[in-house]
Amino acid sequence: MFRFDPYAPEIDADPFPAYRRLRDEFPCFWTEEAGMWVLSRYDDVLNALVTWRTYSSAKGNLVDEFPGRAGATLGSTDPPRHDRLRALIQSAMTKRALDHIAEPARASVRRHLAAIEGKESFDFVNEIGANVTVDLLFYLFALPKENAAEVRDNAVLMVQTDPLTRQKSEAHLAAFHWMADYAGKLVEERKRNPGDDLLSNFITAEIDGEKLLDREVQLTVTTLIMAGIESLSGFFGMFALNLADFPDSRRALVANPEMIPDAIEESLRFNTSAQRFKRTLTEDVELHGQTMKAGDAVMLAYGAANRDERAFSDPDTYDIERRPKRHLGFGGGVHACLGSMLARLATHITFEEILAKLPDFSRRDETLDWVPSSNFRSPRALHLVTG
Ligand code: HEM
């Protein structure tokens, strides 16, 4: 009997054979382990993203949602409330986010690359990727550096689920509460001493005389720290892994750095860090001979949709010259990733520097240890051998 258990360590390690069976044999599948339907074909996932009235985010978009988060963040609200929040947050983000990050990001990568200079091997995730994303986020929010390690540790913990109980453990929930408290204190502090940073911009952002509520700022910052650190550093890890596994592609990028954006898009399709998100049905839906009931939860398996041969030719091939690039690595529709431009720019700068300094690297270990998560997929560590 076919099972799809998004908590199983073998799914973290390699979800793609199961995704293929889902798409081909069980395109509308009830997973007992997660207690929700799974959609895995590109057209079905895209349709769900577009028909947000039926596939609602208001009960949360994380496969394992945090208590109290649904309804207060961008990812866990539907229009019109979502659109109001998004417009406010976007108005705060555009002011500074993109213009100002390039140089600090480049300086951060160079600093962390200098620290591994001369080493025969290094852990890309923990010595480069995580450090650069933390530096970037701390710069954007103008956060005090002394908390960096604690913030990162809690961001990594909060995205995890216990593979045995298939739930968030006490430690995972405690990490979320720690982050929410941390964000709450920052909001209070920044209200007293506003500056020219993203957090201050959220607090002061106004559209038609309306501002974000304190709780909205607090949970938005909590989510952005999680997304900023975990989605981005997770993706850095996946991109580095692809470049280690496909040396011809890496060599092409070393020779032609202007192709790095193409390779980023292909990695977002091929094995992105943001694999699965959730929606809840507001009405019954018939699909592929199944009846999904109003109130049922539905998993949108972006990672599976991105390998659908109905949408992509030769989908299991990593091809940095692939056209067109209509992947769902950043989701789509009204909830399409708000940080996508930032993520693209940060990845571009980071890997431009890395490839210039380390044109040749390979994986030290054949098997990797994966962060246990029902939403995200990324290695806990990635040891690369240089030269
Ligand atoms: C490569 C790194 C990243 C990936 C792969 C990624 C992926 C995603 C995906 C798939 C979604 C859609 C979620 C859903 O359908 O419910 C999303 C939403 C979102 N992401 Fe990202 N993300 C990344 C980086 C970032 C960064 C750096 C930020 C901000 C600092 C960010 C902020 C957000 C926000 C706020 C949303 C919710 C948007 C909404 O619901 O309107 N992301 N992201």
Per residue in 344-357, pLDDT (tens digit) is 999 999 999 999 99
Residue with tokens 């989701």: 331
What pLDDT does 68 receive? 78
Tokens coding 99:
């213009």
Query: Quick one: which H or E segment has residue 314?
Result: none
Residue 196 has pLDDT above 90, yes or no: no
What is the enclosing helix (H) or strand (E) of 279? strand 276-281
Ligand 1 atom closest to the Cα of residue 77 is: 40
pLDDT of 50 above 80: yes
CB 305 less than 6 A from any atom of ligand 1: no
Distance 387 CA to ligand 1 centre (A): 34
More reliable by pLDDT, 99 or 153: 153
Q: What does residue 210 show for φ and ψ, rounded to 5 degrees?
A: -100, 140
pLDDT in the model for residue 144: 86
Q: What is the pLDDT of residue 224?
A: 84
CA-nearest residue for atom 19, ligand 1, is: 337
Answer yes or no: is the C-beta of 342 below 6 A from any ligand 1 atom. yes
Question: What is the per-residue pLDDT across 111-164, written as a single tens digit (0 to 9) for each?
Answer: 999 999 999 999 999 999 999 999 998 998 888 888 888 998 898 888 888 888
Do 294 and 283 meet the contact criterion of CB atoms below 8 Å apart? yes
Least confident of 46-55, 87-96, 278-287, 373-382: 87-96
Which alpha helices (DSSP H) does 142-231 contain, by range? 148-158, 170-192, 198-204, 214-226
Per-residue pLDDT, averaged over 290-310, amounts to: 98
Ligand 1 centroid vs 231 CA: distance in angstroms?
7
State the pTM of this model: 0.94
Crossing angle (nearest 10°) for helices 214-226 and 170-192: 120
Both structure tokens of 256 = 């032609």
Token pair belonging to 264:
């980023």
Best probe residue, ligand 1, of 74, 212, 231, 267 (max atoms within 8 Å of C-beta): 231
**Residue 328 in tokens:** 């769902």
Measured in Å, residue 340 CA sits from the centre of ligand 1 at 7
| Among protein residues, the one whose CA lies closest to atom 42 of ligand 1 | 339
Computed over every residue of the chain, the mean pLDDT equals 92
Asked whether residue 52 carries a pLDDT value surpassing 60, the answer given is: yes
**pLDDT value for 312:** 97
| Phi then psi dihedrals of residue 37, to 5 deg | -75, 155
**Percent with pLDDT over 90 in the chain:** 67
Portion of the chain with pLDDT greater than 70, in percent: 99
**3-class DSSP state for residue 336?**
coil
Averaged pLDDT, 31-39: 96
pLDDT tens-digit profile of 218-267? 888 888 888 888 889 999 999 999 999 999 999 999 999 999 999 999 99
Q: Grade residue 178 by pLDDT with cuts at 50, 70 and 90.
A: very high
DSSP code of 329? T
Alpha-carbon span 342 to 373, nearest angstrom:
23
Residue 4: pLDDT over 80:
yes
Residue 387 has pLDDT above 80, yes or no: no
At residue 97, the pLDDT reads 59
pLDDT given for residue 253 in this prediction: 98
Confidence of residue 202 (pLDDT cuts 50, 70, 90): confident
- Please report the DSSP string for 7-70 in residue order: TSHHHHH--HHHHHHHHHH-SEEEETTTTEEEE-SHHHHHHHHH-TTTEE-TT-SSSSPPTTTT
pLDDT digits (tens, 9 = 90+) for 358-382: 999 999 999 999 998 889 999 999 9
